[in-house]
Each structure stands twice: as C-alpha cells, then as structure tokens.
A = this chain, B = another copy of it.
Amino acid sequence: MQFAEVIGTVVATRKEESLSGIKLLVLKAVDVDRRPLGTYVVAADAVGAGRGELVLYATGSSSRLTDVTQDRPVDAVVMAIIDSVEVDGEFLYEK
C-alpha cells in the first residue's frame, strides 16, 4: 500500500454501469514523511475518507476486495484512514 492525501473528487456520469454509487477520490501520493511524490491516482473510496485526510490505498486486483468495489473495474481503492505513522520510535504523523 502507499500513502496518499485525499485532495478532491471526480464526477463521471457516463461510466461502466457497475461503478454507480462508487465515490471516486483524487489522491496525491505522498511519502512516509508526507512529502508529495508528484504523482496522482484516482481511487474508489471504501472507507468514507474526506478531503485532507492521510490514507492508505491499495492497487491491482486487491482493489476489488472491499465491500463497495467487489467485481468492479477499479484498480485503486482507499482501504484505510491513517491515525498514526510511527517510524524508528517517533510519530511522523498523528491525526
């Protein structure tokens, strides 16, 4: 999984039918110390993440293993909202 910050949303009315009702989030990928990596991903939201939150997203076939994304054509999913990141005994992030 990778770290990312939720920065926005995508609206699409013409889409594969099975995607109805799935919220599409714009993610800014960040490093362990929350430094932007310069890349963006659009991911399905499986956990009700809001703008500005630090999240984890999974890619590939694992994106389909949440209740809301099962059997849907999505290749990235936000599957956790981060409370804290601890590295070498220090909290790099606390919500």
Contact = CB atoms under 8 A, between A and B. Distances in A.
State the number of copies, please: 5
A48 B14 contact: yes
B12 A56 contact: yes
29 contacts: A1-B42, A1-B43, A1-B75, A1-B76, A2-B41, A2-B42, A7-B87, A9-B85, A10-B80, A10-B85, A11-B86, A12-B56, A12-B81, A12-B83, A14-B48, A15-B47, A16-B79, A19-B80, A26-B32, A32-B40, A58-B74, A59-B75, A60-B60, A61-B61, A62-B64, A62-B72, A62-B74, A65-B71, A65-B73
A58 B41 CA distance: 11
Interface of A: 1-3, 7-19, 24, 26, 31-32, 40-43, 46-48, 51, 56, 58-67, 71-77, 79-88, 92
A61 B41 CA distance: 17
